[in-house]
Chains A and B, each alone.
Chain A
């Protein structure tokens, strides 16, 4: 099967010094992948390359069987839904519904199908009650979810999100996790750039770590997130749940809160304290 996304020895620079150096990885349908790394490691550049806003200096970015070098951003929108880092600033229509439906309308999707997709995307993120509101009457966090709804309405094979949880409280994060898990079950491939390792643990399954433009790590998040000795040199810290699992030596070293709570309760029942 052709991967939803493949970076093949991609090198890129904005001028002096390479931002990405020979980066290679691929993501298949239904996979949920975190792209991690320090500020300035090149993560947001990966998003721009996938969306077709930049072209690799060397190597190739494949979206399905399309070489992004041959595609305009608007063509790539058939396959990729991108939400950029400051997505709450990218809304422009007079109502949320109009904004969310813009993508599929621009792709030339039929009116009834546009309506179905818009309703679905708004419902997936619990935004239906705000559909008639002006985007800038809503808090930035909800605008951010609205931008994501716009990407969902494209019904892309690949969703690429850059720091989707900034400014979101715990309830909105949980809402986002639920929506992304639903879409991934429907075989959407997910690539999420995030510093929020708690969110990554809850939502994603595989971790790519960029270090100075190269891939330093590509493995299941469950093992990686509890491993301080490997995370620290990469500028990452284990999220509290993973750190607690390690510190209390919980069986299976769970990294998701619900799993850890179950294990903690079981272990606590079998010991005298606390």
Chain B
């Protein structure tokens, strides 16, 4: 069942003539991970704002087309420090801020927060003041705060950007696990190398429009590599003049080579 459907959606930010999204149609089902990829300015972040009902509701601007949501959504912005509530003096309380505002009973808030803190491996930081955290630590806190709201549709904008290798691995693994639980996940990322193991589908946005959509194999196609959207291995394979199809990952390349 689809959790989110965008049908021929166009969106204009206030005081702009060119649309940031042009006629975009896409859907995300429960249990599915859809990754938006594209160059800077292609519209991936805007698509997430529209999906999360933040644009045009909070940004202003104008929307055309239809957006259908079956679930409550929660969003992780690419600027995690702007998402702190400013009302909490510990990481645990920060993660509890969203659930508390949903009006849940205390024991349910505690259950969801404890779970999210554990999922993001934040236990050792639970009593820290969020203001003293590093960028990567903060990003994990915001992801936990989003998960604690138990939304059916998760919107994640560059969820691994601030994370070290270990943190990124934890987050990608968690995203897969959440999809397995039945969450619908729409994410935007420039971490293209992670996608073959994470995404079910990839939507390539260019200049606000969908240029192509398909499995992550898309990231091994010549056109994607030429547009700077191939995985590192696929791009390298293409640059060395080897014939396609290009392998997406090191493991895939090794199999092909042998």
Residues of A within 8 A of B (CB): 14, 37-40, 44, 85-86, 89, 139-142, 163, 166-172, 195, 197-198, 235-237, 239-241, 243-244, 247-248, 257-258, 260-262, 264-265, 268, 273-274
* Contact (Cβ within 8 A) B242 A265: yes
**A-chain residues with CB within 8 Å of residue B134 when the two chains form the complex:** 39-40, 44
* Contact (Cβ within 8 A) A244 B137: no
Interface string of B34-71 (1 = CB under 8 A from A): 00001111000000000000000000000000000000
* Contact (Cβ within 8 A) B236 A257: yes
**A260 CA to B231 CA, complexed, in Å:** 15
Which are the 8 A-B pairs with shortest beta-carbon distances?
A: A39-B136, A170-B228, A261-B239, A240-B232, A264-B240, A237-B165, A261-B240, A265-B240
Question: In this complex, what residue of A is CB-closest to B233?
Answer: A240
Between A and B, 23 residue pairs with Cβ closer than 8 Å are A38-B167, A40-B136, A86-B79, A86-B81, A166-B158, A166-B162, A170-B190, A195-B163, A198-B232, A237-B169, A240-B231, A240-B249, A240-B250, A243-B250, A247-B253, A257-B236, A257-B239, A260-B236, A261-B240, A264-B242, A268-B241, A274-B242, A274-B257
Partner of B158, one of A163, A167, A235, A268: A167
* Contact (Cβ within 8 A) A38 B239: no
Does B19 make an interface contact (CB < 8 A)? Answer: no
Question: In this complex, what residue of B is CB-closest to A243?
Answer: B250
**B-chain residues with CB within 8 Å of residue A167 when the two chains form the complex:** 40, 78, 158, 161, 190
* Contact (Cβ within 8 A) A140 B253: no
**A166 CA to B250 CA, complexed, in Å:** 23
Asked, given contacts A40-B134, A248-B253, A265-B241, whether A171 binds B233 with beta carbons under 8 Å apart, the answer is no
Residues of B within 8 A of A (CB): 38-41, 78-79, 81, 132-137, 158, 161-169, 190, 193, 228-229, 231-233, 235-237, 239-243, 249-250, 253-254, 256-257
**B-chain residues with CB within 8 Å of residue A44 when the two chains form the complex:** 134-135
**A141 CA to B241 CA, complexed, in Å:** 31
**A-chain residues with CB within 8 Å of residue B193 when the two chains form the complex:** 240
* Contact (Cβ within 8 A) B232 A241: yes
Asked, given contacts A169-B190, A240-B232, A241-B232, whether A38 binds B166 with beta carbons under 8 Å apart, the answer is yes
Q: Say how far A165's CB is from chain B's closest CB, in angstroms.
A: 9
* Contact (Cβ within 8 A) B135 A247: no
**A-chain residues with CB within 8 Å of residue B165 when the two chains form the complex:** 195, 197, 235-237
**A257 CA to B137 CA, complexed, in Å:** 30
Q: Say how far A89's CB is from chain B's closest CB, in angstroms.
A: 8
**A-chain residues with CB within 8 Å of residue B243 when the two chains form the complex:** 274
Partner of B228, one of A139, A171, A274: A171
* Most chain B CB inside 10 Å of its own CB: which residue of A39, A44, A140, A235: A39
Q: Say how far A224's CB is from chain B's closest CB, in angstroms.
A: 14
Question: In this complex, what residue of A is CB-closest to B254?
Answer: A247
* Contact (Cβ within 8 A) B136 A169: no
**B-chain residues with CB within 8 Å of residue A244 when the two chains form the complex:** 233, 236, 250, 253
* Contact (Cβ within 8 A) B163 A39: yes
* Contact (Cβ within 8 A) B232 A39: no
Q: Say how far B139's CB is from chain A's closest CB, in angstroms.
A: 9
Question: In this complex, what residue of B is CB-closest to A269?
Answer: B241
* Contact (Cβ within 8 A) A86 B135: yes
**A38 CA to B170 CA, complexed, in Å:** 13
